[in-house]
Structure 1
Amino acid sequence: MIHIGARYLTADDFAKILFDGEEVGLDASVVKNVEVNYQFLQGFSSNKLIYGINTGFGPMAQYKVSEENLLQLQYNLIRSHASGGGNLMQPLLVKALMIARLNSFMQARSGVHTDLPELLTQLINKDVAPNVFEHGGVGASGDLVQLAHLALVLIGEGESSYKGEQHDTAELFKELGIEPLSIKIREGLAIINGTSAMTGIGMVNIIQAKKLLEWSIVLSSMINEVVQAFDDHYSYELNVVKHHRGQNEVAAIMRDVLTGSKMIRDRSEHLYNPDNLNQEVFLDKVQEYYSLRCVTQVLGPVYDTIFEVERVVTDELNSVNDNPVIDHEAKNIFHGGNFHGDYVSLAMDKLKIAITKLCMLSERQLNYLLNEKLNHKFPPFVNLGVLGFNFGMQGMQFTATSTTAENQTLSYPMYLHSIPNNNDNQDIVSMGCNAALMTKRVIDNTFEVLAIQMMAILQAIDHLDCSEKLSPTTHTVYTDLRAIFPKFIEDKPKYKDMVNVKQYFEKAEHVHLIKKRNSHIL
């Protein structure tokens, strides 16, 4: 069990909860601190004007709310802002959102009753996913609309997903023996005033981006292997003179992945051979195309970006992103803008740009493999059938190309798309949730492109009949993937095969290399 609030929550913790079935719990000492914070607010708010407790919200904060309407004000806020549109978020993302919001509450600066974190804990552990819509948040007063849909379910209203089916929340709570939340002071504003939607989705994106990075390194290693490339471009000596952590880590992983390969060549045994000096035109290509030779220089910045983004989003995850901040230690309340999502928005834009570049590298490597005029080694489209009669991977390349193009368009930064709203009260906004959701789409697309690339590499290996010459690591990958995507000669629909390979890439428990190489990547 992972105790929320007891320590700094990490991406690894998220992965254990979301993918490995770990439950969450609440540390008793932290719950006590939340209770102390609530009691402070309860006493401090008497006979004082405090935003969101006895005032309206946003541009209507100048209106005082009467004593008898204070609790109803919180319900009005939740119901009025449950106004999302578009597609429902996937239950996995909603669970991530709830973990992030719970962790914020456990910092004990939101003035909430302990009933709230305890209820969130129940929903997370029972895999109840409130219906939260993708459209609505501008990421300034937090992810207001998305979190309002969470709040709607917490008070026992709206709809929820449970075991793959839609349910009326009130009925589902009765069935599961869950008591809905009763507002005590400011729980409505506390739930919706935060960056937890963009942050939760962002953590999922980081986990998946790490998988993409590792698979891209593996695929890049395998394509160098099947074309019998030289080994110096990922050597220690070449890369160490470039002082970037990511480049050197990528090179180290490539060396590990390719250890034992009987196909990678030592340049000194070939081009440095005196016999080659008698040739006017060298049969061996002196240097490979950039998509094969510059892997460490292309994926190195991707590596560094993922880990920088992880640092930023993890800091946000463990921060207080409410407004106002209820500080029982300083015995005061501080009004400001910790709900503003610029940190996460910019981080997600950086991540999607990096992953799009990774996708572009994959598409170029795929094109090299499929174009016999470039590789001079394989039949067109690694077609193992009759040329002109069969088509090999030709159809799948169209999907990879169009999907890469979509990623390139999606990678314009959301961070720069501020549109004033809320009667110009929110005159500069982050669009952080949009940024996180678009980054997730880029990541999903990239898994698809890498899956197509892997299918082509497997066909290339079988064309050369060289599987026994692969390194032990890449041979394991070949064997595992051929079990779900068999060699093909005759033309058959490939879309289901692509989905199977993509799902293999996405599931951490099936990716032996992630666990093996975790000293580098995780």
Structure 2
Amino acid sequence: MYNGYSSNGAPVPASVSERPAVLLGETPLTLQDFQAILTDHARIELADSALQRVESSYRFLRKFATGKLIYGVNTGFGPMAQYKIADADLNDLQYNLIRSHCTGLGNLLPPQETKALMLSRLCNFMRGYSGIHTDLVYLLRELINRDVLPCVYEHGGVGASGDLVQLAHLALALIGEGEVLYKGRIELAADAFRQEGLRPLTIHFREGLALLNGTSAMSGIGVVNLLEARKLLNWSVALSATINQLVEAYDDSISHELNSVKPHEGQAAIAGLLRELNQGSSLVRSREQVLYREENLGADYLKDKVQEYYSVRCVPQILGPVLDTFRQAEKVVLNEVASVNDNPVIDFENENVYHGGNFHGDYVSLEMDKLKVAFTKLAMLGERQLNYLLNDKLNQKLPPFINAGKLGLNFGLQGMQFTATSTVAECQSLCTPVYVHSIPNNNDNQDIVSMGTNAAVMARKVLHNAAEVLAIHAVAVMQAIDCLGHAERLSPRCYGLYQKVRSVFPQVVADQPHFFNLRKVTALIKSEDLGLL
């Protein structure tokens, strides 16, 4: 029996209480915690100590605000902050802010990203610096656990006074208005609340501004991007190891001795993974056993290449920076999720209210730009390895386009290369940085902005493109393995990879449309983590 759908569209158990729990409010969430909630259907619970902080922050602000002017509590917003708001209008001020900023357009955020956005906002509130009523955090918890997801749109945020437009759509659903994704379809929020027996949020004091002022949209999308990026990096490493085996590469390019004299953590880690993946293979060769033998010394021409092409030999040096970039982005984005990005910040312990710009999204914006550049390079490596396998003049081992049919009559994987090349080119075009693209707005109150949500959305596109390139790349690697008859000589882990891909995409002999099965391989790559990193 099911009563809901997960953030990736799969049904979830009817009883929320039956699912494993992740506790919010005691320690910052990890990428694994997000994975558990977004993909593995874990429920969230709220730590009592954090709830007490939320309550204390709210009570302090109610008392502290008496007889004072505090931005967003009894003043207007942005350029209109010079206007004092009458006591009778304070609640209307918060509702007006929410409704007036629900101006999002473009595509809906995917459900998983919306859920990550909500989770990111809840993590911020649980720090206890927002001056909000506990009703808000309890309702957010229930919507996340029950997969009642606000309809949030890609276009609208400039990422400087927070993700105002995207978070306004979250707030609109919380007050029981607007639309939500519920049970796999779009419904009115009010109808979904009735079906779940939930009451919409009632504004108590400053919940409107607290919901809108934050970087939770770019952070939520950023977290999902990181989960995707980790899978792609794992697949790229595993496919690179498999190519090293099937072309019988020399093992010194991935040796500890060679890679340790260049002290980059990512390079050393990638080289180490390649060595692990090669364990048990009879294909990778030792230079000493082949090129250092006496019978080769008198030859004027060596048929065997002395060194492989860069796309095979330089994998640690190419994917090392990608790994380092991923790790830095993970650190920064998770720090942002764990941060207080309100304005003002309500500090009940020091009994003060601090105005500033913690809502500015430059940290996330820069990391998303770096991530898309790094994974464009990963896609480029995949395309170059693909080209190496398809070009018989380069590999000198395989028929043109790894054609297992009749040369001239059949085309092998020729058509797939066009798609890979085109997709990599689009990634390269998307690498224009967003971090340095600021347009003043809001009557020049927001005179320099981060465009962080745009950066995260564009990074998502690059990552999806990279998955498609790796899918074509994976098909070519498996086709080469079959062509050379090397399946049984692969290492156990690379043979397992071969079996995974072959389960959804059989060897190509006769010409046929390939896009159906390529979609299956893309879905496999986007769902299977491989667990290397």
TM-score (norm. length: structure 1): 0.97
CA distance in 2, matches of 1:297, 1:115: 51
Alpha-carbon displacement from aligned partner over 1:360-409 (angstroms, at most 9, x marks no partner)? 11111111111111111111111111111111111111111111111111
CA distance, structure 1, for counterparts of residue 182 and residue 478 of structure 2: 39
The answer as to 2:430 corresponding to 1:417 is no
Match of 1:378, SS state, is coil
> AA paired with 1:382?
I
**1:300 maps to what in 2?**
320
Residue 99, structure 1, aligned to residue 99, structure 2: no
Partner SS state of residue 415, structure 1: coil
Q: How does 1:237-256 map onto structure 2 within 5 Å?
A: 237-256=257-276
CA apart distance, 1:278 = 2.1
* Correspondence for 2:361: 341
Q: Number of residue pairs matched?
A: 513
Partner of 1:195: 215
Match of 1:228 in 2: 248
Map of 1:179 onto structure 2: 199
1:264 matched residue in structure 2: 284
Question: Quick one: which of 51, 58, 68 aligns to 1:31?
Answer: 51
Q: Secondary structure at the match of 1:422?
A: coil
Post-superposition CA distance 1:466-492 (Å, at most 9, x none):
111111111111112211111120111
Residue 373 of structure 2 corresponds to 353
**Secondary structure in 2 aligned to 1:484?**
coil
Partners of 2:404 and 2:183 in 1: how far apart?
Answer: 43
Decide which of 188, 199, 211 is 2:231's aligned counterpart.
211
AA at the equivalent of 2:218:
M
Query: After superposition, where does 1:114-513 map in structure 2 within 5 Å?
Result: 114-508=134-528, 511=529, 513=530
Instruction: Give the RMSD, CA atoms, in angstroms.
Output: 0.8
- Counterpart for residue 90 of structure 2: 70
Which residue is 2:13 aligned to?
none
User: What is the distance in 2 between the residues matched to 1:123 and 1:116?
Assistant: 11
Deviations 1:208-260 (A, max 9, x none): 11111111111111111111111110011111111111101100000000111
Tell which deviates more after alignment, 273-282 or 146-155.
273-282
Structure 2 Cα separation of the partners of residues 460 and 417 of structure 1: 44
How far is 1:188 from its partner? 0.3
C-alpha displacement of 1:452: 0.5
SS in 1 for 2:297: helix
Distance 1:427 1:41 in 2: 29
- Is residue 48 of structure 1 aligned with residue 68 of structure 2? yes
Mapped contact 2:159–2:215 kept (Cα < 8 A)? yes
**Which structure 1 residue ranges, 5 or more long, are not aligned?**
none
Q: Which residue number corresponds to residue 26 of structure 2?
A: 6
Cα displacement (A) at 1:53? 1.0
Q: Report Cα offsets for 1:63-101 as digits up to 9, x if no partner.
A: 111111110010110000000010000011000000000
Q: Which amino acid aligns with 1:108?
A: G
1:291-342 superposed Cα distances (whole Å, 9 cap, x missing partner): 1000000011111111111111111111100100000011010000000000
1:111 lines up with 2:164 in the alignment: no
Task: Tell me if the contact between 2:250 and 2:286 (Cα under 8 Å) persists in the aligned partners.
Answer: yes
In structure 2, give the amino acid aligned to 1:469.
R
Task: Please say if residues 25 and 49 of structure 2, whose CA atoms lie closer than 8 Å, have aligned partners that are also in contact.
Answer: no
CA distance in 1, matches of 2:431, 2:146: 36
Tell me the distance in 2 between the aligned counterparts of 1:489 and 1:166: 44
SS of the residue corresponding to residue 414 of structure 1 reads coil
Distance of 1:172 and 1:316 partners within structure 2: 31
1:82 is matched with which residue: 89, 97, 102?
102
Task: Output one character per residue of 1:10-40: Cα deviation in whole Å (capped at 9) or x when no partner.
Answer: 1111111111111111111211110011000
Structure 1 Cα separation of the partners of residues 106 and 85 of structure 2: 33
Q: For residues 185 and 20 of structure 1, what CA distance do their matches in structure 2 show?
A: 36
Measure, in 1, the Cα distance between the counterparts of 2:454 and 2:248.
43
Q: Matched residue of 2:503: which SS?
A: helix
Give, in angstroms, the shift of residue 163 of structure 1. Answer: 2.1
Matched residues in 2 for 1:443 and 1:144: separation?
A: 25
The offset of 1:261, in angstroms, is 0.8
C-alpha distance in 2 between matches for 1:110 and 1:480: 48
**Which structure 2 segments of 5+ residues have no match?**
1-20
Secondary structure of 2:270's aligned partner: helix
Amino acid at match of 1:195: T
Over 4 Å off, 4+ runs: none
Please name the residue that 2:16 is paired with: none
Identity of aligned residues (%): 57
Name the SS of the counterpart of 1:161 in structure 2.
Answer: strand
Matched residue type, 1:97: L
SS in 1 for 2:435: helix
Other-structure match for 1:59:
79
2:17: which partner in 1?
A: none
